[in-house]
Amino acid sequence: KTGCIVMCGIVGIASRENFSSRDLIAALKRLEYRGYDSFGFATNSGQMEKFVGEINENNINDVSSSTMISHCRWATHGGVTRENAHPHSDCSNQLAIVHNGIINNYIEMKNELISKGHRFRSQTDSEIIAHFFEEQLKTKDMNETAKEFFEIVEGEFAVLLTRRDDDKIYAFKRGSPLVLGLADGMNILASDIYAFSDKTNRAVFFNEEEFA
């Protein structure tokens, strides 16, 4: 048990219509009061951008997609660098994750994944999540993998995951805050209702150990 609350923020949007990465980052910016040192976003078609420094939606590329996740990081494991900023992807760039919190057993998990051939690009605890899903999804479906994720991973997390050419966002919650906003034609996952309070007042709060 860490007893530690890591701030930072995550926002993911799964929409019927394509939307702009600038709208996503504008929603992420509404969480900047939580503190951050770097930020980034990924689409479900494998595009990913990461930045160190201040969030400004006008300074990022205008990428269009129906499914995107984003994160502003408060570094706990690994320095403040572009590589360590989220999202993180697996070896084959088939999925991307963002994580708020701390994985306590990441060193054991990382060593095991390295022994299975996984290559890591960052110094974060969070990157193990991407490789864990890559490894498990080789032989299991998402529901089984989600169950194992809660069993094997120790620590606190709100995690969002996107997969290549899949219009869903998968969300996992233990300890760190996570709320689902039901807006017109889109569902929004975020650390705090402020991220989407300009779009909807319909919110569903995750319970502990919930997967969506």
- Indicate whether 162 belongs to the interface with ligand GLU (CB under 6 A): no
Residues 6+ apart with CB under 8 A from 199: 181, 183, 184, 186, 188
With contact defined as beta carbons under 8 Å apart, do 49 and 60 qualify?
yes
Q: How far is the CB of 135 from ligand GLU (least distance, A)?
A: 20
Binding range to ligand GLU, per CB under 6 A, among 76-84, 112-120, 188-196, 198-206: 76-84
Q: Is 100 in the site for ligand GLU (CB under 6 A)?
A: yes
Contact 99, 126 (CB under 8 A): yes
In the set 74, 120, 150, 194, which binds ligand GLU (CB under 6 A)? 74
Is 187 near ligand GLU (CB under 6 A)? Answer: no
**Three-class HEC string of 84-113:** CCCCEECCCCCEEEEEEEEECCHHHHHHHH
Least distance to ligand GLU, CB of residue 140, Å: 25
Query: Binding ligand GLU by CB under 6 A: which of 125, 134, 135, 192?
Result: 125
- Nearest CB to ligand GLU, comparing residues 70 and 126: 126
- Residues 172 and 174: their CA atoms lie apart, in Å, by 7
Rounded CA separation 187/196 (Å): 10
Nearest Cα neighbor of 81 from 49, 37, 125 is 37
Q: Please choose, out of 46-54, 122-130, 143-151, 196-204, the segment that lies near ligand GLU by the rule CB under 6 A.
A: 122-130
Residues in binding contact with ligand GLU, number by CB under 6 A? 16
Which residues contact ligand GLU (rule: CB under 6 A)? 6, 8, 73-78, 84, 99-102, 124-126
